[in-house]
Amino acid sequence: MYFATLEGLRRFNIPHKFNFVSIISLYAQWIRDGRLKVDPSWNTEGLKFTVQDPCKLVRQGLGDPVAEDLRFVVKKVAGEENFVEIWPNCSNNYCCGGGGGALQSGFVENRRKYGKFKFDQFAAAGADVVITPCHNCHTQIMDICEFYGGGWKTTHLWNWIVKALVRE
C-alpha cells in the first residue's frame, strides 16, 4: 500500500501538503533525536541480524536512504557488531520473489524456485534473524527458509524495537 500511494502521488501529480515517509525512516529519526530510546544489551546471545530490502519500498520507492535507515535501526536495536550485511544490498538487492501477486497466484513451485536466489543469499550471510519490513517479503522468506531448510527466524522490525526499548 505504501508504494501504491507513493506512485499514485507521483504518476498523477496529485498535490499534497504532507511528507510521505516510511515508518522505518521515522524510527531512525526518533532514535537519532533521542525520542525513541533503545539499548541492544538485551541481545546477550549475540544473535546475528540481516535485512531484506523490499522492492517496492527501496528499489522502486524511496531508494538507498530508507535502506540505510533500516540498517541504522537494526544496528541500534541489536548491536552494530551483530549486523550481517548481505550482498548485493540496498537498491541492488535481489527480489525475494513473493511480491507482485506471486504469493497469491498459486504458482508455489515457480515462486520457490525464484526465491532460491534469496535463500542462498541469506544462507551465505549466516544470520539468525532476517528482518523484513514488507508483508510479502516476510511470508516469502519464511516459506523459502522452511522449504529449503534455512536456519533463520523471519520477523518484522518492530518485534526487536520492543525488545530494545529503554523503559524510563
Q: Look up residue 91 and give its three cell numbers.
A: 537498491
* Burial grade of 131 (CB within 10 A; 0-12, 13-18, 19 or more): buried
CB atoms closer than 10 angstroms to residue 141 = 26
Q: How far is CA 143 from CA 34, 85, 98, 132, 148, in A?
A: 36, 21, 10, 13, 8
With cut-offs at 50, 70 and 90, classify the pLDDT of residue 164. very high
Domain-wise residue ranges, the chain:
2-164
Q: Give residue 145's pLDDT.
A: 97
Cα Rg, the chain, nearest whole Å:
16
Q: Give residue 167's pLDDT.
A: 87
**Bigger pLDDT: 103 or 159?**
159
Q: Give residue 1's pLDDT.
A: 67
Q: Is the pLDDT of residue 123 over 80?
A: yes
Q: Read off the pLDDT of each residue in 86-102 and give the average, rounded to a whole number.
A: 90
Distance CA 167, CA 67 (A): 27
Q: Per residue in 3-60, pLDDT tens?
A: 778 788 888 999 888 887 899 999 999 999 999 999 999 999 999 999 999 988 898 8
pTM here? Answer: 0.90
Q: Give residue 85's pLDDT.
A: 97
Q: Is the pLDDT of residue 102 over 90?
A: no
Q: Look up residue 83 and give its three cell numbers.
A: 549486523
